[in-house]
A and B are shown apart, each in its own frame.
Chain A
Amino acid sequence: MRVFLGALFLLALSGGSAAEGKIFPFEYRLVQLENGFKAYLIRAGASRQIAYVTVARVGARDEWEPGRSGYAHFFEHMMFRGTEKYPNYDAVTSRIGAARNASTSIDVTQYYLVASSDSLEQIIDLESDRFMNLKYMEPQFRTEAGAILGEFSQGRANPYLYLMEKIQDTAFDRHTYKHLTIGFEQDVRRMPEGYQYSLSFYQRYYRPENCVLLLAGEFDFNEAERLIRKYYTPWKPGYVPPQIQAEPPQTAPREATAEFPGRTLPILTVNYKGPAWSAAEKTAAAAEVLGAVAFGPNSDIYKRLVVKEQRVQTLDGDFGLSRDPNLLTILTMVNRPDDLPAIKEEIQRTVEKFRTDLCDQKFLQDTKSAMKYGFLMSLETAQGVAFALRSFAVFTGGIEAVEEYYRTLDSITPEDVRSAAQQYLVENGRTTVILVPAKEGTK
């Protein structure tokens, strides 16, 4: 009940137009059901369109049983196999001309449709039904395993996949972030035998308490609320949290080399153990800002190595955070293999600099502005709006945290950035992984 009152309060605050002092400019309403399901109705985007985004808070992170990596992603495929009521999911979506797709990552599996507002009830019926009543037989399951292997094989032509695999496997011992979303190859090849396991996966993770709906577009809130209550209320709770092992603290620097069976420029990555995402914790926000300030496209090292000296093809400081503590990654594609040690040195020097010196105040302000306008610029279409809010739903189970997050971001000082560097960019938390072409004649 309290949450329902909260929803009314939010509605009053928003008042039908962009509220003052808030970063998220659109009106929204929270509908929360007894079974724990939450739906956010958001008025935004192009005329007569809706984006229907279901965030299932399950991903590679939840694949804690040995031999079962890749199932969150596999399950994403199975969710299109049909139910008794709608045995052919795509026949329905194609009839209404909906664009639809899904994707899986380490923390989330998301399903989305973009369609005409006229199709609202049909979509609510269709989506609620498959989340509650998915049905598929073993032969269909086996066929889909083929397509998954196809996707896996297609990814093998991509050097970045080899690299990421090596990074995660080297940096993590226990936590499920040790494997990628696609899973370990041996687990993917074994998947055709996993029919029973896939059913138990569905029973444990595809439950109302573990899913959030982001419905953005032009539609009637009261009608949408009525329909959501009607179709999702029968969904039984029963979420079973995964038994993910906490990653023990890293006690020494680690190194590894990944070999790519093809040609590629060498790619150097320096990865540090970082914090989990948080809307309120300054150190988490400061860690994200640190990445942009120290290694982003306007950083000193970028200007020097990419622009002036052209010693690297690309340089990225991706300090984006995950639901659990993951890696802060500096990645660079180096133009000459013999330059690798020197580039590593450059990165180390930059790390040291940010641990000791305060970053430039103006540059910090520009960075915060870039993050804020980056968010605002993404709010053009109904789908864009829903996607922009997705990570909040993944990390917190709701979207309200968007305001607190940008307030926290706004409060970051040069001292906070330096503290984050001192806390996270430490030698014993570091994993260095390089990708090189495999030597001729090997593999």
Chain B
Amino acid sequence: MRRHAIGILAVCALLSACSPAGGPRSAEGIITLSEPESPFVAFNIWVRCGSQDDPKGKEGLAAFTANYLSDSSTRNNSYEQILEKLYPMAAGYGANVDKEMTTFTGRIHKDHLDAYYALFKDAILAPAFREEDFNRIKSQTVNFLKQIRRFSNDEELTKELLFREIYRGTPYEHPEEGYVASVESITLQDVQDFYAKHYTRNNIVAGVCGGYPEGYGRKVRADFDSLPVGTAERAARPEPAPIDGIHFLLVEKNIKASPVSFGFPIPVLRPDRDFFPLMLFNSWMGEHRNSFSRLYQVIRETRGMNYGDYSYVEAYPRGYATQVPPVNVSRRSQIFEVWIRPIAMTQPGTLHDRTLFALRAGLREVSRIVETGMTAESFEETRGFLKNYTANFGATGSRRLAYRMDDSFYGYPDPGFLASIKPGLDALTLDQVNAAIRKYLQAGNMWVVIITQDAEGMKRKLLEGDADPHQLSGAAARPGDRGG
């Protein structure tokens, strides 16, 4: 990233005003998107650490530290004073921690820019590390893990467990917020140590977007340069173990509707040549919360089995809460993932049978598309859709800025991912898409996670059933089912 940024600086020095007005500017450690008409200013401070950096036995420490910093006293203001000052501005700031990235984001109306930024920067640059703040955050976090997380969102659970199985033995294995035992063991000293190790000058990229005054980016960067230089090593890229066959994790719970997640690693990342082919295929197969896609049509639309069915080629945490892709969850390892929302008892039969049917339908769609490839018609249709749909991904200044931070993570060349989508899709051919499908998709080696009543009963059905889980009975396949 450094080399790239220096390249830009050198070019700009030679050709003055080379960047279009309002275009992104990127120098070492600072990204700025000037939008002078906007009454808002958005901030994004990216710290290069995530749950992959949690020490053993302290899983959840990265998330805990970020939550702590964004919700505690600073050396200049007590927590109560911070809340009091933010209140009339109707503003706040928060942190998001994923496997590799930690981002602190905030947004303010121009009327309050200076007062707000003073508070925002202190959260990261001048934490007070007070015991009472630590106790509050710890109590909230432990309560959340013990009482809430496990019991109120089964859909997220299947996805979380899918990642855990696929990434066993790697730094991606554990959930970002950690486990009850590991979080209970976190001390204030742990937080301070983690902060000292990772929150260093050369480990941070700062970003500003919107109607900020001239020179603001330089000022922000100078503030973050006050942090010490650090020597934290980047965690090694996770190498998930190859999966041999279809492995099931059945989670027993007394519920009336069973969610299913299945998936396997794919070695394709955003800047790779095969990314746009896979992105297009994935949109056809299971575009998030869109109803025209293949999986949705087969499972929900035709058969009314559940609320929705989607697929992903990039991590999509908390999908239930959003219509557009999450930002700042960039990773060096991705999986292909199918999310089958809870299958309910909407018709006679047993829940086990209906759930396994939905799973088989999903697997069948994956093997079929590998076999047949997409047609020219569906390719063009999907491309037309995606070119327009992705226009909405950068609707806000905060998101436009976040995408630029992700560009920085991936070393994505200018003009950045968002601006590259349309031309990237335009340049695609059907052959490229089908070659990517053949190369990376398959339905024989993966993990499947199901939450179900009577897990033993489901296990028996799986073991005693057809040897090939892709077989569907005659009643299940429908005449007129169309392939890709």
Residues of A within 8 A of B (CB): 46, 48-49, 80, 90-91, 93-99, 101, 114-116, 119, 142-147, 149-151, 153-154, 156-159, 261-265, 297-298, 303, 307-308, 310, 313, 335, 365-367, 369-374, 376-377, 380-381, 383-384
Contact = CB atoms under 8 A, between A and B. Distances in A.
B64 to A, nearest CB: 16
Q: Interface on chain A toward B: helix, strand, loop, or mixed SS?
A: helix
Contact of A99 (B40, B107, B153, B392): B392
Interface in B133-189: 135-136, 139-140, 143-144, 147-148, 150-155
B152 A99 contact: no
B160 to A, nearest CB: 15
Contacts of A310: 135-136, 139-140
B150 A153 contact: no
A265 B151 CA distance: 11
A216 to B, nearest CB: 12
Contact of B87 (A151, A298, A313): A298
Interface stretch (B7-15, B195-203, B301-309): B301-309
B386 interface: yes
Nearest to A306: B136
Contacts, number: 171
A11 B89 CA distance: 30
A405 B391 CA distance: 34
A95 B384 CA distance: 6
Q: What 7 A-B pairs come out closest when comparing CB atoms?
A: A97-B388, A146-B304, A146-B346, A373-B90, A369-B88, A143-B304, A153-B257
B257 A98 contact: no
22 contacts: A80-B291, A94-B381, A97-B384, A143-B302, A147-B304, A147-B306, A149-B344, A150-B257, A150-B300, A150-B343, A150-B344, A153-B342, A153-B344, A154-B341, A156-B256, A307-B136, A308-B132, A373-B88, A373-B91, A377-B90, A380-B395, A380-B397
B426 to A, nearest CB: 14
A99 B389 contact: yes
Contacts of B291: 80, 90
Interface stretch (B55-63, B78-86, B331-339, B433-441): B78-86
B292 A381 contact: no
Interface of B: 38-40, 79-80, 83-84, 87-91, 107, 109, 111-112, 132, 135-136, 139-140, 143-144, 147-148, 150-155, 254-257, 289-292, 300-307, 323-324, 341-344, 346-347, 381, 384-392, 395-397
A377 B397 contact: no
Contacts of A144: 304
Contacts of A99: 323-324, 389, 392
B306 A97 contact: no
Contacts of B89: 369-370, 373
Contact of B109 (A150, A261, A377): A377
B152 A264 contact: yes
Contact of A95 (B39, B256, B301, B381): B381
B318 to A, nearest CB: 15
Contacts of A90: 290-292
A380 B151 CA distance: 35
B260 to A, nearest CB: 13
A48 B302 CA distance: 35
Contact of A377 (B40, B290, B300): B40
The CB with the most chain A CB atoms within 10 A, among B80, B88, B153, is that of B88
Given A144-B304, A264-B152, A377 B91 contact: yes
A373 B109 contact: yes
B391 A116 contact: yes
Contacts of A264: 147-148, 151-152
B323 A154 contact: no
A354 B155 CA distance: 42
A303 B143 CA distance: 19
Nearest to A47: B391
A385 to B, nearest CB: 11
Contacts of A153: 256-257, 342, 344
Nearest to B111: A373
A91 B289 CA distance: 14
B395 A383 contact: yes
B290 A94 contact: yes
Contact of B396 (A91, A114, A367, A381): A381
A147 B307 contact: yes
A99 B389 CA distance: 6
B257 to A, nearest CB: 4
Contacts of B341: 150, 154
A109 to B, nearest CB: 18
A381 B392 CA distance: 10
The CB with the most chain A CB atoms within 10 A, among B153, B155, B392, is that of B392
A115 B144 CA distance: 38
Contacts of A46: 395
A263 to B, nearest CB: 4
A432 to B, nearest CB: 22
A97 B389 contact: yes
B300 A147 contact: yes
A114 B388 contact: no
B143 A265 contact: yes
A116 B388 contact: yes
Nearest to A292: B87
Contacts of B111: 373
Contacts of B323: 99, 101
Given A147-B304, A366-B88, A380-B40, A96 B388 contact: yes
Given A142-B304, A150-B306, 20 more contacts: A93-B292, A95-B381, A97-B385, A99-B389, A114-B392, A143-B304, A145-B304, A153-B256, A153-B344, A154-B342, A154-B344, A156-B255, A261-B254, A262-B152, A307-B83, A313-B144, A370-B88, A370-B90, A372-B90, A373-B90
B385 A94 contact: yes
A140 to B, nearest CB: 9
B169 to A, nearest CB: 30
A129 B348 CA distance: 36
B139 A335 contact: yes
B88 A149 contact: no
A373 B256 CA distance: 44
Nearest to B391: A116
The CB with the most chain B CB atoms within 10 A, among A49, A96, A153, A384, is that of A153
A159 B381 CA distance: 41
A276 B470 CA distance: 56
A56 to B, nearest CB: 20
A195 B231 CA distance: 67
A343 to B, nearest CB: 15
A217 B87 CA distance: 30
A265 B135 CA distance: 18
Contacts of B342: 150, 153-154
A340 to B, nearest CB: 15
A282 B302 CA distance: 52
A306 to B, nearest CB: 8
A154 B307 contact: yes
B484 to A, nearest CB: 15
Nearest to A46: B395
A27 to B, nearest CB: 15
Contacts of B87: 297-298, 366-367, 370
Contacts of A159: 151-152
Contacts of A370: 87-90
Nearest to B342: A154
A192 to B, nearest CB: 9
Contacts of B153: 157-158
A94 B80 contact: no
Contacts of B386: 97
Contacts of B255: 156-157
B90 A374 contact: yes
A370 B238 CA distance: 45
Contact of A115 (B343, B346, B388): B388
A262 B256 CA distance: 13
Nearest to B139: A310
